[in-house]
Structure 1
Amino acid sequence: MLIVIFVLVLWYGSLFFQSFFLHRYAAHQVFTMSKVMERITFVLTWIFQGSSYLSAYGYGIMHRMHHAYTDTEKDPHSPSHDANLFAMMWKTKTIYQDINKQRITVDDRFTKNVPQWKGFDKFASSRFSRLLWISIYILVFVYFATAWWHWLLLPITFLMAPIHGVIINWFGHIYGYVNYQMKNTSKNLFRFDFLMMGEGYHNNHHKHASRANFGVKWYEIDITYLIIRLLDALGFIHLKPIRLKD
């Protein structure tokens, strides 16, 4: 039971910081925060994403490119142009690394105000850091796994962030329902997004990319947005005024 709780904490902790920090802050900047709070969030993202840590800089730029080029050949990740989800994951990894290591030229519109902490990112993305987290996960399983099937969950801890990305960027463009007919394949995965904390309302997000709340219908409860509202009320962050049109 402890192993299941451990994996669930990593799942939702990693997912929250990917949605809250990398997606809604770094890529879309739907709220602001102080430099100190930003640095704290960098560290928390590393702690919860662990071996699959993603930099805000690489993620933010790549996600902006996804919105600009959705479902075209320039899209960093699209079921419309990738043979399968593994091919898409490899392509995404390559583009992400090329951005971070500045091996490709990126249009200025994609880099504007994207947060970057070069020194920390270099450490958090290093082989040492990733192997350290993998070792910690293995030790946790050695001490607390009590059933053979618990070990089937171990690879998920290694690849948490890419798994979250695949669910939205592959399945979120194939399965689900739409509230808005657009010139792309984005879908809403769930009526109530219990699995992805609001990220599953992908069709809504492509229609209103600058909105903090990804839910539109009354039943589309965006859990990450509710936490954002709480953090705003407590003064940790500051939500920008709601924009009904992008």
Structure 2
Amino acid sequence: MSPTLIDNELPEAPIGTEELSSDLIPANEMDSANDEPGDLPAHVTERPMSVAAQERAELLNYFTPDNLKLANIDWIVASWMIAMHAGCLAAPFFFTWEALAVAAVLHWATCSIGICLTYHRCLSHRSFKLKAPAKMVGMICGSIAGEGTPLMWAATHRVHHGQSDHHGDPHSPLEGPWWSHLWWMMVKSSERKKQLLYQYYAPDLNRDPMVRFFDRTFAIWLWGAGILLLAFGGLSMFLWAMCVRMVLAYHSTWFVNSATHLWGYRNYETTDASRNLWWVALFAYGEGWHNNHHAHPRLARAGHRWWEFDMTWWTICFLRAIGQATNVDDRIPAKNAPQTAN
């Protein structure tokens, strides 16, 4: 069943969901909001569909639990996660109010501004455009969130929308709640996977100079933030503003992948198991209204009813008011959208 439509218009196809039966990849499927329609690299638009279909199938096969084997674990990611959680457990023994305050501010900046607003709604779904100053701040916040480079994050998220709760979904809870919450990130990547991912799911972003810059310098921003916190605030500041802040942000993001495909209510009928879950929306700055988002992924607002609070949307409104956010897709879904049982 398709989602309820806005003003009787055709539903938009999530990026990466085009049928693989045509002769060529649709040239306008993944155009950037800054690009002209059809502006895809020639090597993509001219590739025979049979080859493209094989490569797309190869890419989707990377995102399966079968790949989670001891010899295929990404020990860099695993070690980082263990270290951050260990620091989080140690933090109560080094508590200061100043460290807690900085952690709270950075949690909002990295999770809401960096991930939700910039990585997710701006880059992944092109719900609006950001002027260069705001875009740069958002990229910095997204980088020090420690959830991956902007290109990798956005491209992987587009795969999720294209394959949501079907084969190739990077983090479907139908493969197990722990797989969707955490284990999917532990599978070692490869240059081949990265090449296919960027080619088919983020060619527009791969042409964006600012996105490419932050993609190359991601580790510098992340490690630099930790070094600055330790140098100017000591161990307490590092443990709270780095470790505690990141662990809370990680799990709030991961609950969007896992919990909101398992529990909650649905405003719309979609082809996946996405749900709206109020406590995930609270901790993830509005991202917990996941069924709303999967029904209308291009919209800049995730809360569709008056009581579905969306802090990230409030920030987008502020940025639009000061001229830093433009072309904001602020449509409100039809008020008579059907409510379905849990």
TM over 0.5: yes
Task: Tell me: CA distance 1:75–1:36, structure 2 relative to 1, closer, same or farther (3 Å).
Answer: same
- Alignment partner of 1:113 is 2:235: no
- Aligned partner of 2:151 among 33, 51, 57: 57
Matches within 5 A, 1:75-224: 75-82=169-176, 84-85=178-179, 88-92=181-185, 94=187, 97-98=189-190, 103-106=194-197, 108=199, 110-114=201-205, 115=208, 117-125=211-219, 129-137=221-229, 140=233, 142-143=235-236, 155-159=243-247, 161-190=249-278, 193-224=281-312
1:148 is matched with: none
Alpha-carbon offset, residue 58 of structure 1: 1.0
Give CA-to-partner distance per residue, 1:18-56, whole Å, 9 cap, x none. 111000001001111234543343234335x2xx15322
Alpha-carbon offset, residue 82 of structure 1: 3.6
1:42 is matched with: 139
Q: Is 2:151–2:215's contact at 8 Å kept on the other side of the alignment? A: no
TM-score (norm 2): 0.58
Q: Is 1:192–1:219's contact at 8 Å kept on the other side of the alignment? A: no
Q: Where does the alignment leave 5 or more consecutive residues of structure 2 unmatched? A: 1-96, 334-342
2:94 is matched with: none
Task: Tell me: CA distance 1:164–1:208, structure 2 relative to 1, closer, same or farther (3 Å).
Answer: same
Tell me how far apart the structure 2 counterparts of residues 56 and 107 of structure 1 sit (CA, whole Å). 11
TM-score (norm 1): 0.78
Runs of 4+ residues deviating >6 angstroms: 151-154
Letter of the 1:111 counterpart: A
How many pairs are equivalent? 232
Give CA-to-partner distance per residue, 1:157-178, whole Å, 9 cap, x none. 3445532321211112122222
Tell me how far apart the structure 2 counterparts of residues 108 and 38 of structure 1 sit (CA, whole Å). 23
Instruction: Return 229-238 or 162-171, whichever deviates more.
Output: 162-171
Q: Is 1:34–1:237's contact at 8 Å kept on the other side of the alignment? A: yes
Q: Is 2:285–2:310's contact at 8 Å kept on the other side of the alignment? A: yes
Give CA-to-partner distance per residue, 1:151-210, whole Å, 9 cap, x none. 688633344553232121111212222212323121111089432211111111011111
Alpha-carbon offset, residue 6 of structure 1: 2.2
* Secondary structure of the structure 2 residue equivalent to 1:26: helix
Tell me how far apart the structure 1 counterparts of residues 132 and 225 of structure 2 sit (CA, whole Å). 26
Tell me how far apart the structure 1 counterparts of residues 300 and 116 of structure 2 sit (CA, whole Å). 10
Letter of the 1:78 counterpart: S
Q: Is 1:71–1:78's contact at 8 Å kept on the other side of the alignment? A: yes
Larger radius of gyration: 2
Identity over the aligned pairs, expressed in percent? Answer: 22
Q: Where does the alignment leave 5 or more consecutive residues of structure 1 unmatched? A: 146-150
